[in-house]
């Protein structure tokens, strides 16, 4: 009998610590499926962030490295320079990539490092208890913006993907979402493209994934997906940016 479907090899057979309705489980799987499809599991080095996905290396079944909060792209830069033939990617949240790690992000992109970045945007700090992220929407209530983000004092949602797309060293930027099965399939294609780009030596590629955080949005998992579809995409439009 022909085998049509089986467990994703690059994912370990264990349950995750993520909250019900969290997008990280789906995003982890998309990364793992892409690596399996490209048959590069034994040639891959992933860099896990600090944040909810800090122990992503417990879920993926390939070589992985920790990075201090925000420093994933500095760590990735070095690993890729030491092993140019390996597939090296970072998996980072919005606080990690667009607040504390903005400097490392912009300069790795500007050097045109041949890396792939999976950027999870859930508009909030999850690990530390739902504080304002650089990508928190105007008016959005968080632990540190109890009255809603006030753009006069807390600034605007940071569109780092659009900023990065301006840099000549950046070759591919796409924003995708996890709010429906169709969107998940499109997200997978984007992850595959980011990895293929690196394998083909194209250069710096980034996929921003809009991902639900029901716990700190204080919505049900279903409401969270609806919130992405109806509210979040207005601030963060889906599609290819570069």
Partner 1 sequence: MKKILLSGNDAIAKGAMDSGCRFYAGYPITPQNELTAYMGLHMPQEKGVFIQAESEVAAINMVFGASAAGALAMTSSSSPGISLKQEGISYIAGAELPAVIVNIMRGGPGLGNIWPAQSDYWQATRGGGHGDYHCLVLAPSSVQEAYDFMFKAFSLADQYRNPVMILGDGMLGQMMEPVSVLEAKNRKPSTENRAPKTWALTGCRGRNPNIVKSFYLHPGELEKFNLELQIKYTKIVKNEQQFESLYLDDAEIILVAYGTMARIVKDALKKLRLAGYKVGLIRPITLWPFPKNIFNSLTRKPVNSLTFLAIEMSYGQMVDDVSLAVNGRSPVEFIGRSGGGILSVGEIIKKVKSIVNK
Q: CB-wise, 110 or 189, nearer to partner 1?
A: 110
Q: Does 127 bind partner 1 (CB under 8 A)?
A: no
63 is an interface residue for partner 1 by CB under 8 A: yes
CA angle 178, 183, 185 (to 5 degrees): 105
Please state, in angstroms and rounded to a whole number, the distance separating the CA atoms of residues 192 and 177.
Answer: 15
One of 78, 143, 166, 222 touching partner 1 (CB under 8 A)? 78
> Which window, 104-112, 156-164, 195-203, 206-214, contacts partner 1 (CB under 8 A)?
104-112
Residue of the chain from 54, 167, 219, 233 that contacts partner 1 (CB under 8 A): 54
47 or 207: whose CB is closer to partner 1? Answer: 47
Indicate which single residue of 19, 26, 64, 231 sits in contact with partner 1 (rule: CB under 8 A).
64
Interface with partner 1 (CB under 8 A), residue from 94, 104, 174, 208 = 104
CA distances from 100 to 91, 94, 113, 130, 198 (A): 15, 9, 20, 16, 25
Is 59 one of the binding residues for partner 1 (CB under 8 A)?
Answer: no
Please report how close the Cβ of residue 178 comes to partner 1 at its closest, in angstroms: 26
Q: Which two tokens stand for residue 149?
A: 């983000």
Q: Does 24 bind partner 1 (CB under 8 A)?
A: no
E strand intervals along the chain: 44-47, 63-65, 87-93, 116-121, 124-125, 131-132, 170-177, 204-210, 239-240
For residue 99, what is the enclosing H or E element? none
- The conformation of residue 191, written as its DSSP 8-state character, comes to H
């Amino acid at each position: 009998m022909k085998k049509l479907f089986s467990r994703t090899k690059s994912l370990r057979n264990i349950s995750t610590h993520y909250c019900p309705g969290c997008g990280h489980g789906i995003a982890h799987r998309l990364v793992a499926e892409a690596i399996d499809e490209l048959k590069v599991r034994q040639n891959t080095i992933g860099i896990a962030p600090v944040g909810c996905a800090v122990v992503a290396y417990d879920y993926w079944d390939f070589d992985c490295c920790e990075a201090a909060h925000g420093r994933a792209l500095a760590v990735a830069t070095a690993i890729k320079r030491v092993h140019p033939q390996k597939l090296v990617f970072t998996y980072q949240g919005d606080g990690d990539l667009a607040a504390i790690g903005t400097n490392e992000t912009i300069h790795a992109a500007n050097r045109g490092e041949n890396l792939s970045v999976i950027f999870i945007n859930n508009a909030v700090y999850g690990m530390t208890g739902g504080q304002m992220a650089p990508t928190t929407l105007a008016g959005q209530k968080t632990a540190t913006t109890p009255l809603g983000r006030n753009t006069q004092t807390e600034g605007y949602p940071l569109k780092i993907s659009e900023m990065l797309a301006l840099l000549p060293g950046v070759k591919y930027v796409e924003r995708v979402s996890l709010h429906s099965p169709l969107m998940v399939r499109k997200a997978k294609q984007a992850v595959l493209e980011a990895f293929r780009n690196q394998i083909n030596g194209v250069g710096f590629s980034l996929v921003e994934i809009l991902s639900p955080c029901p716990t700190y949005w204080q919505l049900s998992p279903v409401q969270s997906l609806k919130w992405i579809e109806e509210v979040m995409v207005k601030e963060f439009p889906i599609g290819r940016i570069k």
